[in-house]
Protein backbone atom coordinates (compact mmCIF):
# COMPACT_ATOMS: atom_id res chain seq x y z
CA UNK A 1 0.00 0.00 0.00
CA UNK A 2 1.19 3.48 -0.77
CA UNK A 3 2.07 5.32 2.40
CA UNK A 4 2.13 9.08 2.20
CA UNK A 5 4.45 10.45 4.82
CA UNK A 6 4.30 13.99 6.15
CA UNK A 7 7.54 14.82 4.46
CA UNK A 8 6.23 13.63 1.10
CA UNK A 9 3.04 15.62 1.60
CA UNK A 10 4.95 18.75 2.45
CA UNK A 11 7.16 18.30 -0.61
CA UNK A 12 4.17 17.76 -2.91
CA UNK A 13 2.31 20.80 -1.59
CA UNK A 14 5.46 22.92 -1.83
CA UNK A 15 5.73 21.88 -5.46
CA UNK A 16 2.12 22.83 -6.17
CA UNK A 17 2.45 26.16 -4.37
CA UNK A 18 5.71 26.79 -6.19
CA UNK A 19 4.14 26.11 -9.54
CA UNK A 20 1.14 28.28 -8.77
CA UNK A 21 3.45 30.97 -7.50
CA UNK A 22 5.44 30.99 -10.68
CA UNK A 23 2.38 31.00 -12.87
CA UNK A 24 0.95 33.97 -10.99
CA UNK A 25 3.99 36.09 -12.00
CA UNK A 26 3.54 37.90 -15.25
CA UNK A 27 5.60 36.40 -18.06
CA UNK A 28 8.80 38.41 -18.65
CA UNK A 29 8.72 39.84 -22.14
CA UNK A 30 11.61 40.76 -24.41
CA UNK A 31 11.09 43.36 -27.11
CA UNK A 32 13.28 43.23 -30.21
CA UNK A 33 14.74 46.59 -31.26
CA UNK A 34 16.43 46.98 -34.63
CA UNK A 35 18.76 49.76 -35.82
CA UNK A 36 21.34 50.25 -38.53
CA UNK A 37 24.09 51.85 -36.40
CA UNK A 38 27.50 50.56 -35.39
CA UNK A 39 28.04 49.36 -31.81
CA UNK A 40 30.59 52.21 -31.40
CA UNK A 41 28.04 54.86 -32.38
CA UNK A 42 26.50 57.15 -29.73
CA UNK A 43 23.02 56.13 -30.79
CA UNK A 44 23.78 52.47 -30.02
CA UNK A 45 24.96 53.54 -26.55
CA UNK A 46 21.79 55.59 -26.05
CA UNK A 47 19.65 52.59 -27.06
CA UNK A 48 21.51 50.35 -24.59
CA UNK A 49 20.92 53.00 -21.93
CA UNK A 50 17.22 52.92 -22.82
CA UNK A 51 17.13 49.10 -22.62
CA UNK A 52 18.91 49.09 -19.22
CA UNK A 53 16.46 51.58 -17.78
CA UNK A 54 13.42 49.63 -19.02
CA UNK A 55 14.77 46.46 -17.42
CA UNK A 56 15.59 48.20 -14.15
CA UNK A 57 12.29 50.05 -13.82
CA UNK A 58 10.20 46.94 -14.53
CA UNK A 59 12.35 44.65 -12.34
CA UNK A 60 13.12 42.60 -15.42
CA UNK A 61 9.45 42.12 -16.31
CA UNK A 62 10.07 43.92 -19.61
CA UNK A 63 13.37 43.71 -21.48
CA UNK A 64 14.60 45.23 -24.71
CA UNK A 65 17.13 43.43 -26.86
CA UNK A 66 19.04 45.75 -29.20
CA UNK A 67 20.06 44.39 -32.65
CA UNK A 68 22.60 46.79 -34.25
CA UNK A 69 24.20 47.00 -37.72
CA UNK A 70 21.00 46.39 -39.66
CA UNK A 71 21.09 42.68 -38.70
CA UNK A 72 17.30 42.62 -38.85
CA UNK A 73 17.10 44.67 -42.04
CA UNK A 74 17.53 48.19 -43.38
CA UNK A 75 15.69 51.07 -41.71
CA UNK A 76 12.90 50.77 -44.27
CA UNK A 77 12.59 46.99 -43.83
CA UNK A 78 12.53 47.41 -40.04
CA UNK A 79 9.64 49.84 -40.28
CA UNK A 80 7.73 47.45 -42.52
CA UNK A 81 8.31 44.61 -40.02
CA UNK A 82 7.08 46.90 -37.27
CA UNK A 83 3.89 47.70 -39.15
CA UNK A 84 3.16 44.00 -39.65
CA UNK A 85 3.88 43.20 -36.00
CA UNK A 86 6.93 41.01 -36.76
CA UNK A 87 9.26 43.44 -34.92
CA UNK A 88 8.65 45.45 -31.73
CA UNK A 89 10.85 48.54 -31.91
CA UNK A 90 13.15 50.32 -34.34
CA UNK A 91 15.44 53.33 -34.39
CA UNK A 92 15.04 55.20 -37.63
CA UNK A 93 15.28 58.88 -38.49
CA UNK A 94 12.90 61.64 -39.57
CA UNK A 95 14.10 61.40 -43.15
CA UNK A 96 13.23 57.73 -43.53
CA UNK A 97 10.02 58.10 -41.50
CA UNK A 98 8.70 60.78 -43.83
CA UNK A 99 7.60 58.02 -46.25
CA UNK A 100 5.62 56.32 -43.47
CA UNK A 101 4.17 59.45 -41.80
CA UNK A 102 4.45 62.71 -43.79
CA UNK A 103 4.49 64.80 -40.57
CA UNK A 104 8.18 63.87 -40.07
CA UNK A 105 8.89 65.84 -43.26
CA UNK A 106 8.78 69.05 -41.18
CA UNK A 107 12.23 68.17 -39.77
CA UNK A 108 13.64 67.65 -43.24
CA UNK A 109 13.29 71.17 -44.60
CA UNK A 110 16.80 72.55 -45.17
CA UNK A 111 17.91 75.37 -42.89
CA UNK A 112 14.66 75.32 -40.89
CA UNK A 113 16.63 75.34 -37.62
CA UNK A 114 18.73 78.32 -36.59
CA UNK A 115 20.98 76.28 -34.29
CA UNK A 116 21.10 73.31 -31.91
CA UNK A 117 18.95 75.05 -29.26
CA UNK A 118 16.23 75.72 -31.77
CA UNK A 119 16.36 72.09 -32.94
CA UNK A 120 15.93 70.90 -29.33
CA UNK A 121 13.06 73.31 -28.70
CA UNK A 122 11.28 71.85 -31.72
CA UNK A 123 11.83 68.24 -30.60
CA UNK A 124 10.65 69.00 -27.07
CA UNK A 125 7.65 71.15 -27.99
CA UNK A 126 4.22 69.63 -27.29
CA UNK A 127 2.84 71.32 -30.39
CA UNK A 128 5.63 70.14 -32.69
CA UNK A 129 8.04 67.29 -31.91
CA UNK A 130 6.01 65.59 -29.19
CA UNK A 131 2.78 65.85 -31.17
CA UNK A 132 4.46 64.22 -34.18
CA UNK A 133 5.65 61.34 -31.95
CA UNK A 134 2.17 60.81 -30.51
CA UNK A 135 0.25 61.00 -33.78
CA UNK A 136 1.56 58.13 -35.90
CA UNK A 137 -0.40 55.28 -34.29
CA UNK A 138 -2.59 54.94 -37.38
CA UNK A 139 0.52 54.30 -39.48
CA UNK A 140 1.46 51.28 -37.36
CA UNK A 141 3.96 52.81 -34.94
CA UNK A 142 4.19 55.18 -31.98
CA UNK A 143 7.12 57.58 -31.51
CA UNK A 144 9.04 57.14 -28.26
CA UNK A 145 12.03 59.50 -28.38
CA UNK A 146 14.30 61.68 -30.50
CA UNK A 147 18.07 61.37 -30.57
CA UNK A 148 20.37 64.16 -31.68
CA UNK A 149 21.98 63.28 -35.00
CA UNK A 150 23.73 66.62 -35.53
CA UNK A 151 23.83 68.63 -38.72
CA UNK A 152 24.11 66.99 -42.12
CA UNK A 153 26.85 68.12 -44.51
CA UNK A 154 28.19 66.98 -47.86
CA UNK A 155 31.14 64.62 -48.03
CA UNK A 156 32.42 63.93 -51.49
CA UNK A 157 35.23 62.66 -53.67
CA UNK A 158 35.70 66.19 -55.20
CA UNK A 159 35.66 69.45 -53.22
CA UNK A 160 32.23 71.10 -52.86
CA UNK A 161 32.16 74.74 -51.72
CA UNK A 162 28.99 75.99 -53.40
CA UNK A 163 25.96 74.47 -55.18
CA UNK A 164 27.66 75.07 -58.53
CA UNK A 165 30.28 72.43 -57.57
CA UNK A 166 27.48 69.88 -57.16
CA UNK A 167 26.28 70.15 -60.76
CA UNK A 168 26.20 66.69 -62.32
CA UNK A 169 27.47 64.94 -59.18
CA UNK A 170 25.66 61.80 -58.04
CA UNK A 171 24.92 62.22 -54.35
CA UNK A 172 23.48 59.43 -52.24
CA UNK A 173 20.35 60.42 -50.32
CA UNK A 174 18.01 58.62 -47.96
CA UNK A 175 14.77 57.40 -49.51
CA UNK A 176 12.93 60.59 -48.53
CA UNK A 177 10.97 62.93 -50.85
CA UNK A 178 12.49 65.99 -49.11
CA UNK A 179 16.06 64.76 -49.49
CA UNK A 180 15.50 64.13 -53.21
CA UNK A 181 13.93 67.57 -53.71
CA UNK A 182 16.71 69.30 -51.82
CA UNK A 183 19.39 67.65 -53.90
CA UNK A 184 17.67 68.56 -57.16
CA UNK A 185 17.42 72.21 -56.11
CA UNK A 186 21.11 72.20 -55.25
CA UNK A 187 21.89 70.87 -58.72
CA UNK A 188 23.09 67.35 -57.92
CA UNK A 189 21.66 64.01 -59.12
CA UNK A 190 20.03 62.37 -56.05
CA UNK A 191 20.66 58.63 -55.71
CA UNK A 192 18.59 56.93 -52.97
CA UNK A 193 20.42 54.02 -51.30
CA UNK A 194 20.23 52.28 -47.92
CA UNK A 195 22.95 53.46 -45.53
CA UNK A 196 24.52 49.98 -45.34
CA UNK A 197 25.28 50.00 -49.09
CA UNK A 198 26.92 53.41 -49.12
CA UNK A 199 30.57 52.56 -48.37
CA UNK A 200 30.77 50.23 -51.37
CA UNK A 201 28.82 52.66 -53.58
CA UNK A 202 31.38 55.40 -52.78
CA UNK A 203 34.30 53.05 -53.26
CA UNK A 204 33.04 51.82 -56.64
CA UNK A 205 32.13 55.30 -57.88
CA UNK A 206 28.40 54.50 -58.05
CA UNK A 207 27.99 57.83 -56.24
CA UNK A 208 30.36 60.81 -55.98
CA UNK A 209 29.38 61.66 -52.44
CA UNK A 210 26.78 61.66 -49.75
CA UNK A 211 25.57 63.87 -46.91
CA UNK A 212 25.43 63.13 -43.22
CA UNK A 213 26.86 64.04 -39.82
CA UNK A 214 30.60 63.68 -39.25
CA UNK A 215 30.15 60.20 -37.74
CA UNK A 216 29.50 58.75 -41.21
CA UNK A 217 33.01 59.82 -42.20
CA UNK A 218 34.73 58.35 -39.13
CA UNK A 219 32.68 55.66 -37.36
CA UNK A 220 31.46 54.25 -40.68
CA UNK A 221 34.83 54.95 -42.39
CA UNK A 222 33.33 56.71 -45.43
CA UNK A 223 36.20 59.19 -45.06
CA UNK A 224 38.51 56.47 -46.39
CA UNK A 225 36.95 57.03 -49.81
CA UNK A 226 35.42 60.54 -49.67
CA UNK A 227 38.14 63.02 -48.75
CA UNK A 228 36.18 66.32 -48.59
CA UNK A 229 33.72 67.33 -45.89
CA UNK A 230 31.83 70.57 -46.65
CA UNK A 231 30.41 72.32 -43.60
CA UNK A 232 27.19 73.60 -45.15
CA UNK A 233 24.93 72.12 -42.41
CA UNK A 234 21.88 71.89 -44.68
CA UNK A 235 19.65 69.86 -42.34
CA UNK A 236 19.37 68.73 -38.71
CA UNK A 237 17.43 65.46 -38.89
CA UNK A 238 16.85 63.65 -35.61
CA UNK A 239 17.02 59.91 -35.14
CA UNK A 240 13.71 58.57 -33.84
CA UNK A 241 12.94 55.57 -31.66
CA UNK A 242 9.55 54.03 -32.46
CA UNK A 243 7.49 51.11 -31.19
CA UNK A 244 4.98 49.13 -33.27
CA UNK A 245 1.31 49.92 -32.57
CA UNK A 246 0.69 46.17 -32.15
CA UNK A 247 3.36 45.85 -29.45
CA UNK A 248 2.36 49.14 -27.82
CA UNK A 249 -1.25 48.06 -27.40
CA UNK A 250 -0.18 44.80 -25.73
CA UNK A 251 1.83 46.56 -23.00
CA UNK A 252 0.35 47.34 -19.60
CA UNK A 253 -0.22 51.02 -18.73
CA UNK A 254 2.71 50.85 -16.31
CA UNK A 255 5.06 49.42 -18.91
CA UNK A 256 3.94 52.00 -21.48
CA UNK A 257 4.84 54.68 -18.96
CA UNK A 258 8.27 53.13 -18.35
CA UNK A 259 8.97 53.03 -22.12
CA UNK A 260 8.20 56.75 -22.46
CA UNK A 261 10.21 57.75 -19.38
CA UNK A 262 13.20 55.69 -20.47
CA UNK A 263 12.93 57.31 -23.90
CA UNK A 264 13.12 60.80 -22.38
CA UNK A 265 16.13 59.84 -20.25
CA UNK A 266 17.90 58.30 -23.24
CA UNK A 267 17.35 61.54 -25.23
CA UNK A 268 19.04 63.51 -22.42
CA UNK A 269 21.90 60.98 -22.22
CA UNK A 270 22.40 61.27 -25.98
CA UNK A 271 22.43 65.09 -25.90
CA UNK A 272 25.65 65.12 -23.88
CA UNK A 273 27.18 62.18 -25.72
CA UNK A 274 26.55 63.75 -29.11
CA UNK A 275 28.25 67.05 -28.24
CA UNK A 276 31.42 65.21 -27.14
CA UNK A 277 31.31 62.84 -30.10
CA UNK A 278 31.14 65.64 -32.71
CA UNK A 279 34.27 67.35 -31.36
CA UNK A 280 36.23 64.08 -31.26
CA UNK A 281 35.11 62.89 -34.70
CA UNK A 282 36.12 66.14 -36.42
CA UNK A 283 39.65 65.56 -35.07
CA UNK A 284 39.57 61.94 -36.25
CA UNK A 285 38.40 62.98 -39.73
CA UNK A 286 41.34 65.33 -39.95
CA UNK A 287 43.69 62.49 -38.98
CA UNK A 288 42.13 60.32 -41.70
CA UNK A 289 43.19 62.96 -44.21
CA UNK A 290 39.70 64.33 -44.78
CA UNK A 291 39.77 68.01 -45.66
CA UNK A 292 37.18 70.06 -43.75
CA UNK A 293 35.95 72.78 -46.14
CA UNK A 294 34.31 76.12 -45.39
CA UNK A 295 31.56 76.86 -47.88
CA UNK A 296 29.49 79.65 -49.36
CA UNK A 297 26.56 78.89 -47.04
CA UNK A 298 24.35 81.71 -48.36
CA UNK A 299 24.42 80.16 -51.82
CA UNK A 300 23.21 76.82 -50.39
CA UNK A 301 20.47 78.56 -48.39
CA UNK A 302 19.30 80.45 -51.47
CA UNK A 303 19.18 77.32 -53.64
CA UNK A 304 16.69 75.56 -51.37
CA UNK A 305 14.52 78.53 -50.39
CA UNK A 306 11.53 77.29 -52.45
CA UNK A 307 11.27 74.26 -50.15
CA UNK A 308 10.44 76.33 -47.12
CA UNK A 309 7.79 78.33 -48.98
CA UNK A 310 6.20 75.14 -50.32
CA UNK A 311 6.31 73.47 -46.89
CA UNK A 312 4.31 76.34 -45.35
CA UNK A 313 1.52 75.58 -47.83
CA UNK A 314 1.69 71.75 -47.53
CA UNK A 315 -1.29 70.64 -45.35
CA UNK A 316 0.63 67.57 -44.04
CA UNK A 317 3.31 69.71 -42.41
CA UNK A 318 2.36 73.41 -42.51
CA UNK A 319 1.25 73.38 -38.86
CA UNK A 320 4.61 71.98 -37.76
CA UNK A 321 6.67 74.17 -40.07
CA UNK A 322 4.97 77.27 -38.66
CA UNK A 323 5.37 75.88 -35.13
CA UNK A 324 9.10 75.39 -35.68
CA UNK A 325 9.45 78.95 -36.99
CA UNK A 326 7.59 80.28 -33.94
CA UNK A 327 10.20 78.61 -31.71
CA UNK A 328 13.03 80.42 -33.44
CA UNK A 329 14.60 82.91 -31.05
CA UNK A 330 16.69 85.56 -32.73
| Binding interface with ligand GCU (CB under 6 A) | 36, 75, 93, 149, 174, 195, 212, 216, 239
Task: Give the number of other CB atoms < 10 A from CB of residue 107.
Answer: 30
CB 286 → ligand GCU: shortest distance, Å?
Answer: 20
CB 315 → ligand GCU: shortest distance, Å?
Answer: 27
Cα–Cα dist 32/11, whole Å? 39
CB 75 → ligand GCU: shortest distance, Å?
Answer: 5
Cα–Cα dist 316/134, whole Å? 15
CB 78 → ligand GCU: shortest distance, Å?
Answer: 10
Torsion of CA 272, 274, 280, 285, to 10 degrees: -170
CB 223, CB 288: distance < 8 Å: yes
Residue from 160, 156, 294, 172 nearest 225 by CA = 156
Closer CB to ligand GCU, 47 or 258, in the complex:
47
CB 131 → ligand GCU: shortest distance, Å?
Answer: 22
For residue 99, CA distances in Å to 105, 154, 177 come to 8, 23, 8
Closer CB to ligand GCU, 128 or 241, in the complex:
241
Residue from 164, 165, 100, 154 nearest 132 by CA = 100
Closer CB to ligand GCU, 75 or 178, in the complex:
75
Burial of 200 (0-12, 13-18, 19+ CB in 10 A): exposed
Closer CB to ligand GCU, 58 or 174, in the complex:
174
Closer CB to ligand GCU, 219 or 255, in the complex:
219
Closer CB to ligand GCU, 120 or 323, in the complex:
120
Nearest-CB residue for ligand GCU = 195
Residue from 146, 144, 93, 149 nearest 122 by CA = 146
Q: How many residues does the chain have?
A: 330
CB 149 → ligand GCU: shortest distance, Å?
Answer: 4
Amino acid sequence: MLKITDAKLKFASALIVGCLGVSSFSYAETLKLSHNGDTKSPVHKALKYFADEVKEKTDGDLKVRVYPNGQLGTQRESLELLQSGALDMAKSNASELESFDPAYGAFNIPYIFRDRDHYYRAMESNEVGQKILRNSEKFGFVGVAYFDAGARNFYTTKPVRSPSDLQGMKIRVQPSPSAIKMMELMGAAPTPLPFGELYTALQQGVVDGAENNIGAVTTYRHGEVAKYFSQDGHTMIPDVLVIGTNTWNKLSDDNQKVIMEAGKDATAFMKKLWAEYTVEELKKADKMGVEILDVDKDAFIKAVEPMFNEAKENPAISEYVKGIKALDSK
